[in-house]
Structure 1
């Protein structure tokens, strides 16, 4: 079955806005989001082949050297599905975009 890389994205300004909320509001969102994320993982366990994880700051290496960089990627996982559309459908109600300040999940086929 085809495999797809699912990349969680979040705009830096959306993350900053979330972090500007009172700690109690952040904690409430985190509590709800973590619970729903665990439920989403359980519901979709049959499709997930690599749980991936969250990622930190970016370092970019180019012909001219190594430097800090910015991109919207904040995490990833790998799923199996018949098509990209089927893979995308798995994420329609994902807490990354329904609870947390994530702006999207990008689905890309893994090409061998």
Structure 2
């Protein structure tokens, strides 16, 4: 499959807010050591799979828009990536052993992105 025929996928990296809150309270020495370990594992993963990543962005404050208006909200998304792969299964398989999954209760969701027609 060529780059022109690869499909695009949105990858969401999630951690429950309660886990993030607990992590912020962790002893800084322990937290720093764990973060360095994860950064090294992430670097290794990127060396093996980085070519599929188009972009990665860090999540921030969230706003919810409804018919009633705009409000502040929270969700479990901490990062998102746009990736290219031959199939949905191939994209998901690449993330099976991702270092993000070392975080308790974390998950990764991969969603097929199709072109929006008629706009």
Query: TM exceeds 0.5?
Result: yes
Post-superposition CA distance 1:67-112 (Å, at most 9, x none):
11121111111111122111011111111112x3461110001110
Residue 32 of structure 2 is aligned to residue 2 of structure 1: no
Residue 87 of structure 2 is aligned to residue 87 of structure 1: no
Give the secondary structure class of the aligned counterpart of 1:49.
strand
Q: Give the count of matched residue pairs.
A: 110
Residue 73 of structure 2 is aligned to residue 106 of structure 1: no
Residue 70 of structure 2 is aligned to residue 70 of structure 1: no
- RMSD of aligned residue pairs (Cα, Å): 1.3
Please, which runs of 5 or more residues in structure 1 have no aligned partner? none
Please, which runs of 5 or more residues in structure 2 have no aligned partner? 1-5
Task: Spell out the pairing of 1:47-62 with structure 2 (5 A cutoff).
Answer: 47-50=52-55, 52-62=56-66
Residue 17 of structure 2: which of 1, 12, 18 is its match? 12
TM value normalised by structure 1: 0.90
Give the Cα separation in 1 of the matches to 2:34 and 2:57.
19
Post-superposition CA distance 1:26-85 (Å, at most 9, x none):
1011111111112211211221122x2211121112221111112111111111112211
Rg comparison, structure with higher value: 2
Give the Cα separation in 1 of the matches to 2:51 and 2:60.
27
Give the secondary structure class of the aligned counterpart of 1:28.
helix
